[in-house]
Structure 1
Amino acid sequence: MSFSPALRRFVRTLAQVGLIIAIWLLATWLSQHLLPNVPPGIAGIAIALGLMALGLLRREWVADGAAWLLREMLLFFVPVVIAVVQYPALFHQHGLAILFVIVVSTALVMLATGFAVDLAWRLEKRWLRRQGGDADGEPR
């Protein structure tokens, strides 16, 4: 019996989302029982990175599921928007403070990400030069 490519892709994506959820559940359990000071999101990233570093998890095994989750991320914010609509008095009283925190925290995250990427790029360039590449990391 042969399945259509669309059905195979759907099942593969569903399985990958399931694998991501399993990692998230493991990270949540670890955060609650063994590492109470580590947020589940950080624990999940560490678990996924560790599994990838050990060769136990390949990027292809989660790529389609992660891409789908990122594409549909807006759906995960619907409950938050509904909660905001239910409490308009909160925004009348603290709206500017909330907006300020959102803008400043977003800017800080963007700056920190930019600095981290720049540092990683410089370190990679330096490492490639030491391995025999030129300043751009290209082999000589």
Structure 2
Amino acid sequence: MNAVVLKKLTRLICELAVLFALFLFGSQLAAWSGWPIPGGVFGLALLLMLFASGLLKPAMLQAGAGWLMAEMLLFFIPALMSLLDYGSLLRDEGWRILLVIAVSTLLVMVVTAVTVELVCRWSLRHEP
């Protein structure tokens, strides 16, 4: 293994360790707070605060986050396999579940688009 590959591998492992540490710390915060918020959400909030404060730059975690995004399908396999236990529920109520998923997805997309549009217009009005 040459030095370039070793350097890239070391960087990837370090970035994944930072992301995992944020997740673990967020999970601990969720347990301590007693709030019904998943630890991953706390971890993402911590990551956002680190980015906003400038202590951490998004480019510093690019390789680790990119690898996790590329392998994201693997994280959904256990959830998909658990659906096999609820076959009768899906046969009876599947259309309602799909309707809720479709409507909520559409709602999230519309709200996101409107929010981005409003922020862009606001930032254009307040340019120096």
Aligned-residue CA RMSD in angstroms?
A: 1.9
Which runs of at least 4 in structure 1 moved beyond 3 Å after TM superposition?
none
Equivalent AA in structure 2 for residue 45 of structure 1: L
Aligned to 2:91: 92
For 2:36 and 2:78, locate their aligned partners in 1 and report how far apart those are by CA, in whole Å. 27
Superposition deviation, residue 35 in structure 1: 5.9
TM-score by length of 2: 0.87
**Are residue 4 (structure 1) and residue 14 (structure 2) matched?**
no
Superposition deviation, residue 99 in structure 1: 0.8
Residue by residue, what CA displacement relative to the aligned partner does 1:22-60 show, whole Å, maximum 9, x if unpaired? Answer: 111111111221261444343222211222232321222
Aligned to 1:138: none
Superposition deviation, residue 5 in structure 1: 2.1
Same amino acid, percent of matched pairs: 34
Residue by residue, what CA displacement relative to the aligned partner does 1:2-27 show, whole Å, maximum 9, x if unpaired? Answer: 84323322221122111111111111
Residue by residue, what CA displacement relative to the aligned partner does 1:41-90 show, whole Å, maximum 9, x if unpaired? Answer: 43222211222232321222211111111111111110111111233112
- The 10-residue stretch of structure 1 (27-36 or 89-98) with the greater mean CA deviation from structure 2: 27-36
Cα distance change, pair 86–4 in 1 and its aligned pair in 2 (3 A): farther
For 2:73 and 2:57, locate their aligned partners in 1 and report how far apart those are by CA, in whole Å. 27
For 1:11 and 1:86, locate their aligned partners in 2 and report how far apart those are by CA, in whole Å. 41
Equivalent AA in structure 1 for residue 46 of structure 2: I
Q: Which structure 1 segments of 5+ residues have no match?
A: 132-140
The 5 A counterparts of 1:97-112 are 97-112=96-111
In terms of Rg, which structure is larger?
Answer: 1
TM-score by length of 1: 0.80
**Are residue 126 (structure 1) and residue 125 (structure 2) matched?**
yes
Cα distance change, pair 103–84 in 1 and its aligned pair in 2 (3 A): same
| Secondary structure of the structure 1 residue equivalent to 2:35 | coil
Q: Which structure 2 segments of 5+ residues have no match?
A: none
**Are residue 18 (structure 1) and residue 25 (structure 2) matched?**
no
Aligned pair count reads 128
For 2:41 and 2:117, locate their aligned partners in 1 and report how far apart those are by CA, in whole Å. 21
Aligned to 2:35: 36
For 1:37 and 1:88, locate their aligned partners in 2 and report how far apart those are by CA, in whole Å. 28
Equivalent AA in structure 2 for residue 53 of structure 1: A
Superposition deviation, residue 92 in structure 1: 0.9
| Secondary structure of the structure 2 residue equivalent to 1:87 | helix
For 1:53 and 1:102, locate their aligned partners in 2 and report how far apart those are by CA, in whole Å. 32
